[in-house]
Chain A
Amino acid sequence: MLLSNRSVVLSLTVILAAALARSALAFTAAPSAATLRSVISSTATTRSSLFLSSEDFTQETPEATKERIEALIENHPVLLFMKGSKLFPQCGFSNTASQILNSFNIDYHTVDVLSDEAIRQGIKDYSQWPTIPQLYVCGEFIGGSDIMIEMYQTGELGEMIEKAKADMI
């Protein structure tokens, strides 16, 4: 921990030194803590203006969220709204759902609702379904992980996925 802190300070010092050199202030031998803090805070400001935070999505109107959801459903023949990602599911039920889809060897799309608050609520309203995960195949709402397990076992889900594969080509 100490080591990594030191290396962060070191790299910041390098950045700072470059900045100082540019502004012809290279004679300032050691940067003060206050200067370092200002560099750190300006870096942080840049980050937050470059990337969308979850707050940006909560300000979206319900209509705009619905349009985003509809575009996702239209563009992805096999679409899973889940908590986390395929590689790092953040919920056991979402993990079950993605494991089932993995077994079909298809390139399905996922939406992480934990990183998108508007969709997290919006998809529940859109599907009239209270829980996550939610699976859409060829624009049709299939259900959550319980239903996926059931339809996987009966072979129905496999048939649907085969049809979706044809859509992907």
Chain B
Amino acid sequence: MAFFTISIRPFLLVGLCAMTLTACSTAPKIDRIDAGTTTDLSGDWNDTDSRLVSEEMIQDALSRPWLMNFVRGNRQQPAVIVGEVRNLSHEHINVNTFVNDIERALINSGRVQFVASANERSEIREERRDQDIHAREDARNPAGRELGADFMLKGSINTIIDAIAKKQTRYYQVDLSLISLADNRKVWVGQKKIKKAIKNPQYRF
């Protein structure tokens, strides 16, 4: 009978242990960093990276002489199309989100005209063919009036990862280049770097 006598002390001990151990958080410790040093949220490429990189790179692209030279020579804004941006990183990055961010930054700048991508174009052409048959004549959009792009924006997202035990340094490099469709000249090359230090937890509860 004495063996099963319950005292309050063990409960207090267990409670104290639980409180102490809860303090050992299992969430990863991540620091947002500058290209020279280190910092971030989850460690992986995220929407913030995508938005910041696209905005900064497009701003850089729009401030360079190729734009002024084109407007001066052609007396119109250049038409740009986003080509393939390859994910060469260590992560499954949704490149579509990044491409959408680039498109948004370009369109919102109001300084270049923007042409729909190859996939979007085929859908629009299909709709135009459908209009040809089903739409009223005055509301119909004929084929052959598309705006051809003057430049294609292409690029890649690369990473270099240095890892040891629970620590990791991730270096992202986004390279974009604007290529003239008339003569394959590269009129602008942009590069944005992000560096993050990630420390995974040593202990969990």
**Are both chains from one complex?**
no
